Chains A and B, each alone.
Chain A
Amino acid sequence: MNLTLKIWRQKNAKDKGQMVDYKIGGIEPDMSFLEMLDVLNNELVEKGDDPVAFDHDCREGICGMCSLFINGEAHGPDRGITTCQLHMRKFKDGDTIYIEPFRAKAFPVIKDLVVDRGSFDRIQHAGGFVSVNTSGNTQDANALPIRKDNADKAFDAATCIGCGACVATCKNSSAMLFVSAKVSQFALLPQGRVEATERVLNMVEAMDNEGFGNCTNTGACEVECPKGISLENIARMNREYLSASIK
């Protein structure tokens, strides 16, 4: 199929940036969206034009490196997938596709479609861990039985891939879904309860310091999350935060 692409081009963090039009042909429905961009980039290189920079790595939906705002939606029109799992059969011959970076104050553009999500790492440094030594001299793993439903809920929260779709989608650029996923994982497990108070206070403070917005419960993040991280986690974090604040 033949497509018109409108792609955000920005040389570096200081450049103003703009949308640029590209025509592309010979795209097959079995191609992934990123493979379509590979085709474009190869054509650009052969022509002597600077290829479009975009983040990607595992190309199987688990590393969280790929991003892209496609036709106004984080990770494009399909649900429950990342951009690398989006296929061109979701588009029609003759379509015009808008491709932009994940936009948020806390995600500055590095180049074109590549953004800096270092703010996510810094929030994790503030408390996204259990303070145990890695010596291996811990108690036997089965000495600590954990209710299966809690273990399963902790797992569901822990499947967050840190891609930032929640932030890019939120009208307030809030990182509440991301932060609450980690807070919830540990809040639901006895290993994490010990430091629960400090964790939620420190992580929320780090989140605020990075310039993410507040949550106003629109729920858009949950819809666009490629891993289906539930809004329940935000409720749980609010509860944790409230009880930690009055301690």
Chain B
Amino acid sequence: MALDNKIPQGSISSKWTDYKDHIKLVNPANKRNIDVIIVGTGLAGGSAAATLAELGYSVKAFCYQDSPRRAHSIAAQGGINAAKNYAGDGDSIYRLFYDTVKGGDYRAREANVHRLAEVSVNIIDQCVAQGVPLAREYGGLLDNRSFGGTQVSRTFYAKGQTGQQLLLGAYSAMNRQIGRGKIKMYNRHEMLDLVIVNGKARGIIARNLVTGEIERHSAHAVVIATGGYGNVFFLSTNAMGSNVTAAWKAHKRGAYFANPCYTQIHPTCIPVTGDHQSKLTLMSESLRNDGRIWVPKKLEDAQAIREGKKKPTDLAEEDRDYYLERRYPSFGNLVPRDVASRAAKERCDAGFGVNATGEAVYLDFAAAIERYGKEQARIHHLDENDPKLVYDLGQKVVENKYGNLFQMYYKIVDEDPYKTPMMIYPAVHYTMGGVWVDYNLMTTVEGCYCIGEANFSDHGANRLGASALMQGLADGYFVLPYTIGDYLADDIRTGKISTDLPEFVEAENNVRSMIDHFMNNKGTHSVDYFHKKLGKIMWNKVGMARNEKGLNEAMDEIAALREDFYKNVKVLGTADSFNQELEKALRVADFLELGELFAKDALHREESCGGHFREEHQSAEGEAERDDANFSYVAAWEYKGNPREAVLHKEPLVYENIKMVTRSYK
């Protein structure tokens, strides 16, 4: 099948408006008779469920958590971008569009990104009307902050809990519709297959996680909004339950999976301490505004620190290597996420890591504390040469700005970051790749849509900070409600879809046989045992830097691990009860397939772009080398029974409004 992205004709700034003027509509009386299933209730799924219900559709929403309020969108800290230009600093829809395409290293679709920038302004209006308490200035108007990769202040925020506040906004909009009977909410349910009837997505098979019942649910369209697949690495900043299963089942039923190798590895996370570790914690990007990143200049100092014989504060200024400032003098510690992460890995690989595992660098606030302290001393006419006084004054300033993050660090690591530098290391954070969708957000399965982080469309090969929340809400509140109507207009006479159709029976049997396999397997190891092994392969060979040899090995190792998993995994308990081990087994089974496709995609993409870095494709100074002549396309993979046999379909990326240039932060 050839890929048709269905991008409307016309100039970039009028495409979306013209499109909306000419789509088919469904009248309110008919909407009542149309069912829509939404899987996942984060920013994208929650906002879509609320809006579709409000338009009059009959919505069924599903989440694996005990309440839609727990979706992992809630953990986003920093903020949400919108081209409001409230700061009057020259921002515009075009600039947000431009920054996003450039930040994505020219691997995103122009038309989608422009639409995203256009609707970004509505998001803020909408959220404020819903009572989301965004940060304000004393005059009563909204406050903005700035984020990496941009030159304007366009980020709206609610302290360090922007994701929480926006998600609770979408949750409240859902609650209103649940209360009115317009949304039927299925908590603690997990989608385990997609049902296709006559080529159209017509329902799902879901497992009730409390009773273990396998349920058939039919609808006229199915929306997948289940987030990213970072947990294929086992360790990531994702929630423990975040998984690829719904997206992967859609893939196995015909939805192409695009650019799986585009992964964002966030530079400032708390390092791994040991094998028991279950998850990684992010320290906000905003810390890089004041923190300086360094490792020891001499190998013997690094070793002494690892062995506990020296402390970081023992090292004189000239014995420290502020490697970001050295390599990227113009951006310094504020280079984009992909660049900062790779630079940390390069130093640690060379033996300069500073914790017991050798995988940590310092993020040091001593200079900021001194700078702010002296400034305060001058303001208050105090002695700026008194080091104790300067330290106390400076510490107060830093505490006001980052107090909650410092406290979080202290609770986890048990070291006081005001007195000794923080240790940080990159960790998997977000996946730009995902299910391929056209301009309407429809997958290659008719009637199956994919929104939010689960799709691939807006961030190219690298996402800018504060853009994930924007995309989730844009898709759910303002894009999908239009595009899905155009499709559903043809379904007004279809009537209820019966769940007795043979396609439902087949899909249910498919799910049951998978569950039976796990329950009857007389294996020896827990699910986590295999998941951790998968994570190690992914991190070592498909992580921050990739090469041909490693990727080939990874594909073989993952395939072998998958075989081992099916033979030797042990799942206790019963299938017809609350069983968290079974839930995990079903998720890890899909990660074990995705991992191999991920490596295959990384192997085929013979260039370095954004979050994808191939060691063979770098300049003499170790900078990424993109190959626009050969790789300026979206790689959409078609499932063929075995991940390594997936077939590649290319969607060329055409840039009519932006000139492609090399990203440089030197």
Contact = CB atoms under 8 A, between A and B. Distances in A.
Nearest to A114: B578
Interface centre among B133, B139, B179 (most CB of A within 10 A): B133
A6 interface: no
Nearest to B138: A148
Given A145-B141, A159-B164, A63 B75 contact: yes
A121 B67 contact: yes
B483 interface: no
A225 to B, nearest CB: 15
A91 interface: no
Contact of B172 (A117, A128, A151): A128
B129 A58 contact: no
Contacts of B178: 121, 125
Interface string A40-71: 01100110111101011111111111000000
B581 A125 contact: no
Interface residues of B, number: 84
A225 B127 CA distance: 26
B274 A111 contact: no
A72 B128 CA distance: 40
Interface string B46-79: 0100110010000000000111111110110000
Contacts of A59: 239-240, 278-279, 281
Interface residues of A, number: 80
A114 B459 CA distance: 38
Contact of A128 (B47, B126, B175): B175
B142 A142 contact: yes
Contacts of B75: 58, 60, 62-63
Contact of B133 (A58, A63, A81, A189): A189
A110 B210 contact: yes
Contacts of B276: 28, 31, 35, 38-39
B100 to A, nearest CB: 20
B565 interface: no
Contacts of B274: 28, 30-31
Contacts of A116: 66, 210
B589 interface: no
Interface stretch (B117-125, B197-205, B379-387): B117-125
Contacts of A217: none
Given A28-B276, A141-B125, A162-B69, A130 B130 contact: yes
Contacts of A185: 131, 133
Given A58-B239, A134-B51, A134-B54, A191 B278 contact: no
A218 interface: no
B158 interface: yes
Nearest to B86: A142
Interface string A106-125: 00001100101110110011
Contacts of B241: 57
Nearest to B474: A136
Interface in A121-177: 121, 124-136, 138-142, 144-148, 151-152, 154-155, 158-159, 161-162
B280 to A, nearest CB: 9
A155 B277 contact: no
Contacts of B239: 57-59, 63
Contact of B131 (A29, A65, A124, A192): A192
A130 B131 contact: yes
B526 A158 contact: no
A59 to B, nearest CB: 4
B350 interface: no
Question: Which 9 A-B pairs rank lowest in CB-CB distance, beginning with the nearest?
Answer: A145-B140, A136-B122, A129-B172, A155-B133, A138-B129, A125-B179, A141-B128, A45-B526, A129-B176
9 contacts: A45-B581, A62-B161, A63-B72, A125-B179, A130-B172, A132-B129, A134-B47, A134-B54, A136-B477
Interface of A: 11-12, 28-32, 34-35, 38-39, 41-42, 45-46, 48-51, 53, 55-65, 78, 81, 85, 87, 89, 110-111, 114, 116-118, 120-121, 124-136, 138-142, 144-148, 151-152, 154-155, 158-159, 161-162, 185-186, 189, 191-192
Given A45-B526, A121-B69, 6 more contacts: A48-B572, A65-B66, A87-B411, A134-B130, A142-B86, A151-B133
